[in-house]
Amino acid sequence: MGAWLSYGLGSENENLPAFVVLTSRGGGNSQGLYAHLWSAGFLDSAHQGVLLRGGKDPVLYLNDPKGMEQADRRRFLDNLAELNHQTYDELGDPEILSRIKQYEMAYRMQTSVPEVMDINGEPDHILKMYGPDVVTPGSFAANCLLARKLAEKGVRFIQLYHQGWDQHSNLVDEMGMQAKQVDQPSAALILDLKQRGLLDDTLVVWGGEFGRTNYCQGPLDAKLYGRDHHPRSFSVWMAGGGIKPGFEYGETDEFGYNIVKDPVHIHDFHATILNQLGLDHTKMTFKHQGRRYRLTDVSGEVVKGILA
Amino acid sequence: MLQFLGRLHILVLHLPIGFLILAFLMELATRRSALALRPAVGFSLFWGMVSAVAAAAFGYLLSLDGGYDEELLSWHKWLGFATAGLSVALYIFYKKNAASSLFLSFFTATVLVLAATGHFGGSLTHGSDYLFSDEKSDATAAVPIANLDSALVFEQVVLPVLKAKCGNCHNPAKRKGGLVVLTKEDLLKGGKNGPAVVPGKPDSSLLLKAIHLPLEEKKHMPPKGKPQLSDTEKQLLDWWLKAGAPFDKTVAAAAMPAALRSALQAATVAAAPSLLDGLKLDPVSEGKLKSLRSEGIQVFPMAAGSPFLQALFSGKKDLTAGQLNKLKPIANNIVQINLANSNVDDAMLAIVKEMPHLNRLHLEQTGITDKGLANLADLQYLEYLNLYQTKVTDAGFAQLQSLPKLRSLYLWQTGVTTDGVAKFVSQKPDIFIDNGIKNDSMFGEVALKAPMIKASKELFNDTVHVTLESGFAKANIHYTTDGKEPDSTSAVYKEPLVLSASGR
């Protein structure tokens, strides 16, 4: 989605990527996160997400090595670009041009990224709002604060991954811990965007890729039980960005097993998000292997019922 | 048989247009340049004449079917006969003296009559406003409903459906089958097979019969290939007729079933109409935008294909009045401008005076003062104004009084007071002001993690450098080197320590 938006909307800030990824580790049983989750797929690789890490060194290998000065780096890049251009003239592979662009972006990011990732300039009352973890680099709270800063700087799409939701067992403790880690920061992000007047044109989406069963998995123990994957029905929430606030859309049966009213398919969901960003999901296409592809493939309807 | 021949009119009518105009062009070419096309003129003219007579005859047969606007039909019919007659006369003239200038005048007149015939014919099939109406979808554009309960059942809910799905053929100009569906009287009167709507008797209402027939059925309406009624629309018409086809009641008074109501709610009560919806602006060419972008002026359409533009300058600290002035030629189309966190000042802000349709203005984190707000006085379309972290004060409210549409105002971290906000809200009750969170006592304190102790080596001979690191630069680190638990009275860490002896 971020890559498609980078493709469809371009970047608003030439010093920062259009699609930024921040990850945090929860208290639950962490599963791996792989860079292909925010890769550009078959889109131009210039649109892939850039992972920023908390702490001193937000992008690995971005800083100049010891003994190399900014001017050296500049000359090095200029010469490299010349070589790359020669190869491009020879082979005509557009990936080479993307690569030149990436090097240039990395060069500009050397100064822009540390600046935006530094939360020391934030006043105390803002820090307090995001909760106790906010000063711990790499926490969900810190990432929420950074997300706000990145949004202010014009980054189009900021994706926060928080790991540790896969409670096949030991659900009670772990889920409590996970929820505590995300609850206050999520609310603070909305509040903070709102008081800055940014919530009108920023869409906050909070969700996962599937839900959990309504029945138990593993031993039926008051504390240690778990729940399995349940893709039939689950919820997400959205805030700002022209979405109607304070109501629910769609309904499941009384067991939460299946949908009985107003189902929203992932394509509908994508179509709606694109719509709110000024893009017609039926018109934004990318030609790949002889066919024009859409983010929503061949289906998807804008969910009018949730628009403000 | 006669009906079949009549319908051939639609096919044949295009032939005389082509033949006669081709003959006319060849005649002109023969006279202007030395192209010797005159024999071909005769050939083309002959077939033009034959097809014109045929078209007129078939047209007459078609008109016997009825169902057309009388006045338009009469014009089309007599002009069509005239075209046929004129083309016969023209062919005879050609045989006698094709070179005379009178022949050319006569030919010109025939072509003009032909054009007029075509125009009226087009008006008959596509409606008389087809050629000059701005929007093709005019008929289908449903009036947005603000509140479904107080909407009139017929006028605001049923009629838009009929208009969109049936009105293209059953309108006063076309009257297919003698039926018009756009008013109460016409529906009750119906067409040649009887009334379309019989209040309270859904079973004998032809309207319902036609829409519920299987799609393959000849009498199914709308005909195969035309936009069909959705399920919700069918349910609506069923309910409406069952309820006695109320024409003047509101939705609430007519007791619409809840399921249908919520389906309609989703379909008709779409997004609240935006202020800009009714605004029609000439789009700025993409080339113009591209050339501006190449000069570093970030202007984009609000959405794909939209004539409305947004200009982005947020974060630019080297903005000049000259750069902003480059927006002047497209200022009429700019509805959103983002100057947040830029070096824009009161004087540079004068550019917004050129933007009559400005709807959203971002000025947060800039040096704008109350004085600069005077530039906004004439913005009739301004709905959103972000002034957080600027130097505006209560005095600035006076400058915002004249903005008729202002709805959202962001004033966190400015010089305005709670009293000032309250006073302004009392004057403009439908405004939303976000003044930020004034009281942060509902939030707990942040919790620092234990700092990291880093030494260059674990074991040392003489001395070792030790650094203490916290992820948060503003945190104070207190330490002891004597093995006691540090507290707030202990030494504060400022620089790397040099240890010369081990603790415990």
| Contact status, residue A62 vs residue A110, Cβ threshold 8 Å | yes
B286 interface with A at CB cutoff 8 Å: no
One-letter amino acid of A10: G
> Chain B residue closest to A54 (CA)?
B471
Option in B272, B364, B471 nearest A135 (CB) = B471
pLDDT value at position B237? 85
Q: Are B397 and B420 in contact (CB under 8 A)?
A: yes
Lowest mean pLDDT among A73-77, B74-78, B153-157, B295-299: B153-157
The pLDDT value given to residue B266: 66
What's the average model confidence in pLDDT over A217-243?
Answer: 91
| Confidence grade of residue B476 (pLDDT, cut at 50, 70, 90) | confident
Say if residues B177 and B193 touch (Cβ distance below 8 Å).
Answer: yes
Mean pLDDT over B269-284 rounds to 71
* Cα B157 to Cα B240: distance, rounded to the nearest angstrom: 10
Q: Say what angle helices A140-152 and A94-117 make with each other, to 10 degrees.
A: 110
Q: Which pLDDT does position B134 carry in this prediction?
A: 54
Q: Residue B474 has what pLDDT? A: 74
Residue of A nearest to B435 (CA): A195
Nearest C-alpha in A relative to B445: A128
Nearest CA in chain B to A8: B304
What pLDDT band is residue A158 in, cutting at 50, 70 and 90? very high
Helices (H) and strands (E) in chain A, counts: 7, 11
A196 touches chain B (CB under 8 A): yes
Structure token pair of residue A28: 């639950």
- Nearest CA-CA partner of A193 in B433, B369, B274, B434: B434
pLDDT of B123 > 50? The answer is yes
Structure tokens given for B199: 């209040």
pLDDT exceeds cutoff 50 at B218: yes
Any CB–CB contact under 8 A between A31 and chain B? no
Domain ranges of chain B: 2-126, 139-268, 286-434, 452-499
> What is the rounded distance in angstroms from the CA atom of residue B338 to the CA atom of residue B359?
11
The distance of Cα B31 from the centroid of its chain, to the nearest Å, equals 50
Of the partner residues A13, A125, A304, the one whose CB lies closest to the CB of residue B270? A304
B27/A contact by beta carbon, under 8 A: no
When mean pLDDT is compared across A197-206, B116-125, B167-176, the lowest value belongs to: B167-176
Q: What is the pLDDT of residue A278?
A: 87
User: How far away is chain B from the Cα of A301, in angstroms, using its nearest Cα?
Assistant: 12
> What is the SS3 assignment for B484?
coil
Q: Answer yes or no: are the C-beta atoms of B66 and B6 closer than 8 Å.
A: no
Mean pLDDT, residues B1-8: 83
Please tell me the distance in Å from A118's CA to the nearest CA on chain B.
9
Taking 70 as the threshold, does the pLDDT of residue A124 lie above it?
A: yes
> B291 to chain A, minimum CA–CA distance in Å?
17
Q: Which residues contact A302 (CB under 8 A, 6 or more apart)?
A: A268, A271, A272, A275, A281
Confidence of residue B143 (pLDDT cuts 50, 70, 90): low
SS3 A182: helix
For A66-75, A106-115, B362-371, B443-452, which range has the lowest pLDDT when averaged over its residues? Answer: B443-452
- How would residue B135 be classed by pLDDT, with cut points 50, 70 and 90? very low
Is the pLDDT assigned to residue A162 strictly greater than 50?
A: yes
Mean pLDDT of all residues in B97-102: 84
Q: Fill in the amino acid letter for B65.
A: D
Question: Is residue A56 over pLDDT 70?
Answer: no
Q: Per-residue confidence at B188, pLDDT binned at 50, 70, 90?
A: confident
For the segment B42-70, what is each residue's pLDDT rounded down to a tens digit?
Answer: 999 999 999 999 999 999 988 887 767 77
Q: Is A53 on the interface with B (CB under 8 A)?
A: no
B410 touches chain A (CB under 8 A): yes
- A216–chain B nearest CA distance, Å: 34
Q: What is the pLDDT of residue B144?
A: 57
Closest CA to B405 of B379, B386, B425: B379
pLDDT of residue A258: 93
pLDDT the model gives residue B136: 44
Rg of chain B over all Cα atoms, to the nearest angstrom: 38
Pick from A136-140, B75-79, B468-472: least confident: B468-472
pLDDT of residue B68: 75
CATH class of B2-126: mainly alpha
Q: Supply the pLDDT for residue A86.
A: 92
- If one compares B127 and A139, the residue with the highest pLDDT of the two is A139
E strand spans, chain A: 19-24, 50-52, 157-162, 203-206, 211-212, 229-230, 237-240, 251-252, 259-261, 285-288, 291-294
pLDDT of residue B137: 44
Domains B2-126 and B286-434 share a fold: no
Cα separation, B226 vs B169, whole angstroms: 11
Give yes or no for B266 touching A (CB within 8 A): yes
Long-range CB contacts for residues B119-126, cutoff 8 Å, separation at least 24: B120/B72, B120/B75, B120/B76, B120/B79, B121/B13, B121/B76, B121/B80, B123/B72, B123/B76, B123/B173, B124/B68, B124/B69, B124/B72, B124/B73, B124/B76, B124/B173, B124/B174, B125/B174
Of residues A131, A197, A242, nearest to B386 (C-beta): A197
* CATH for B286-434 (3.90.180.10, 3.40.50.10490, 3.80.10.10, 3.30.2290.10): 3.80.10.10
Mutant choice from B390, B472, B476 vs A, greatest count of A C-beta within 10 A: B472
Residue B53 tokens read as 């007579």
| Number of inter-chain CB pairs under 8 A, A vs B | 101
With cut-offs at 50, 70 and 90, classify the pLDDT of residue B30: confident
The mean of the pLDDT values for chain B is: 84
Average pLDDT over residues B346-367: 91
Q: Assess whether pLDDT exceeds 60 at residue B141.
A: no
Average pLDDT over residues B388-397: 90
Identity of the amino acid at B454: K
